[in-house]
Structure 1
């Protein structure tokens, strides 16, 4: 059976990394080009939309179009500092970008309810797929998602620890599993399917990890070391990793993995919208990499959205 190929796009404001209180959403106008490329190769993306983007007329028009044409799925992505209700956790949430998991449980529930309702009103479809802002999910957050009817999460990044968030995914499963709501790092019987991001250790992971721990992972030296020789490889384009993208998908196909999950930010599709693709030339290079990857996966993979993947897993599950 061919592996599923899942495309996820975090649809969020322009250059959210800069920490500015001024939010712009110009990158929404660049989504149709990406969608056209997906359709050229028969691929079915899932757009995980953050609150700030729901105010963009371009995003609303685009999302309504792909829903009407049944060419993509709309899901939810939540940044705690832009999603109401606004009860600041720090002196400057827009700059410090606290994780939703840092907020009291009632705030978590209210923010999830607010953005879910907003997306469902705009696009007139159930919203059942989700990725946490800055990748951090915990048990409280997962239970809120289940209570709101979510069926799929894709926040887990295997082999990666997020020290500032105190969220360590290094021992989490790398293949899809229904989560245990008492411990989201293990399989259970909840209705929430975790579809982990495709992240694999590199051949140099051991010595790089030891060296970066010695100097401090978040220090200048630690960040430089990981950039030069990363501990893990993601199925995520950065303008320099076409070979890695193709290698990961080739490995998945040969090994018979159930899925691979690709991700990109919507702002990376716009020149100057992210720290990684600052110029038109760099965005054109990105599209050359995407063309090569999508042409390869067009045969030998099964293109599905997150909700479609969940439906396939559910159908395949044995009945008691």
Structure 2
């Protein structure tokens, strides 16, 4: 099996429920050092999906380049449209990507990808959309910007007013539909699986028959009640191990993990308010990786290294 550990490397303040065009800073990026053990102890590289605000900061960018040059990390792209130029007032943020004029969204993508290439010296070829807001317009734009692998799909999760990705295939990477003659993008969904395989489709169909409030409640609670995943912030350790076992039993070959850089900085996310909580998260990841390497052959790869597997 292959394992991707992806980090949304981004500015602070996002867990406050506000989407500022002038975020408070990117100091959390320095806390990525807490994950050095992932490479030093296990040999697994990180995929650092980087926002525009981080790319504009010298200290944060230097940190990412060190992780790339010394520990084999990949630097990819992470779009936060609410603070990536060009900026237009379209109403309360976050405005959904499919509700933006296409040329405005294309302009934001261009700003992000140009900033990353200028700062880091090579084009970004992996991508994750902020707020899991992977709509049709983003899907259409990715090949235009040279993206090989996207990781914006979180199966079995319900995003209010967002694209319905609940039934995204949750096993291994697959190819997205072609856009003209451009190379097809590989989708690498987060590893989140129904404990009882048929229950996801049944639950989704049942929820669609219900009034809006009941539908949203059913879908929003499914991932916590009836699913297992290897996401260390969303799932307890037993669920992480069970998800990896299920994935292997069902023929899966690729595991995709994610977390936010700000979750490594005490006080910048609701689940990790102090250093002790952050240290528990780090130990949880370490113990899972140790168990994973002992339970069967596993190879750490970056997101873009998955591209040829699905092509």
Same fold (TM > 0.5): yes
Render the CA deviation track for 1:267-310: whole Å, top value 9, x for unaligned. 11111111111111111111111111111233521210011111
**2:157–2:222: 8 Å Cα contact kept in structure 1?**
no
Offset of 1:245 from its aligned partner? 1.0
- Whether 2:192 is the aligned partner of 1:192: answer no
**1:135–1:157: 8 Å Cα contact kept in structure 2?**
yes
- Whether 2:306 is the aligned partner of 1:309: answer yes
- Whether 2:241 is the aligned partner of 1:238: answer no
RMSD (Å), alpha carbons: 3.0
Aligned to 2:81: 80
C-alpha separation in 1, matches of 2:275 and 2:169 = 38
**1:79–1:99: 8 Å Cα contact kept in structure 2?**
no
**2:39–2:71: 8 Å Cα contact kept in structure 1?**
no
What secondary structure is seen at the aligned counterpart in 1 of 2:118? helix
Aligned to 1:318: none
Offset of 1:198 from its aligned partner? 1.0
**1:239–1:289: 8 Å Cα contact kept in structure 2?**
no
What secondary structure is seen at the aligned counterpart in 2 of 1:162? coil
What secondary structure is seen at the aligned counterpart in 2 of 1:261? strand
Offset of 1:135 from its aligned partner? 0.9
Give the 3 Å change call, closer, same or farther, for CA 16–226 of structure 1 in structure 2: same
Give the 3 Å change call, closer, same or farther, for CA 313–17 of structure 1 in structure 2: same
- Which residue of the other structure, out of 137, 147, 160, is the alignment partner of 1:140? 137
In the TM superposition, 1:213-224 aligns within 5 A as 216=213, 222=217
Offset of 1:250 from its aligned partner? 2.3
Aligned to 1:317: none
Q: Report the TM-score when normalising by structure 2.
A: 0.86
Q: Report the TM-score when normalising by structure 1.
A: 0.83
Which is further off, 54-63 or 128-137? 54-63
Gaps of 5+ in 1: 183-187, 315-320
Offset of 1:232 from its aligned partner? 3.1
Give the 3 Å change call, closer, same or farther, for CA 161–228 of structure 1 in structure 2: closer
Aligned to 2:14: 16
What secondary structure is seen at the aligned counterpart in 1 of 2:134? coil
Q: How many equivalent pairs are there? A: 301
- Whether 2:263 is the aligned partner of 1:265: answer no
- Whether 2:269 is the aligned partner of 1:274: answer yes
Render the CA deviation track for 1:104-143: whole Å, top value 9, x for unaligned. 1101111111000101111112200001111121232122
In the TM superposition, 1:82-161 aligns within 5 A as 82-90=83-91, 92-93=92-93, 97-161=94-158
Give the 3 Å change call, closer, same or farther, for CA 239–281 of structure 1 in structure 2: farther
C-alpha separation in 2, matches of 1:58 and 1:8 = 21
Aligned to 1:170: 166
C-alpha separation in 1, matches of 2:205 and 2:33 = 39
C-alpha separation in 1, matches of 2:175 and 2:222 = 33
Give the 3 Å change call, closer, same or farther, for CA 261–215 of structure 1 in structure 2: same
**2:156–2:222: 8 Å Cα contact kept in structure 1?**
no
Give the 3 Å change call, closer, same or farther, for CA 66–158 of structure 1 in structure 2: same
**1:152–1:195: 8 Å Cα contact kept in structure 2?**
yes
Aligned to 1:7: 5
Offset of 1:152 from its aligned partner? 0.7
Which is further off, 154-163 or 119-128? 154-163
C-alpha separation in 2, matches of 1:105 and 1:78 = 15
C-alpha separation in 2, matches of 1:128 and 1:217 = 39
What secondary structure is seen at the aligned counterpart in 2 of 1:47? strand
Which is further off, 207-216 or 4-13? 207-216
Offset of 1:231 from its aligned partner? 4.0
Offset of 1:79 from its aligned partner? 0.8
**1:178–1:191: 8 Å Cα contact kept in structure 2?**
yes
Gaps of 5+ in 2: none
C-alpha separation in 2, matches of 1:196 and 1:208 = 18
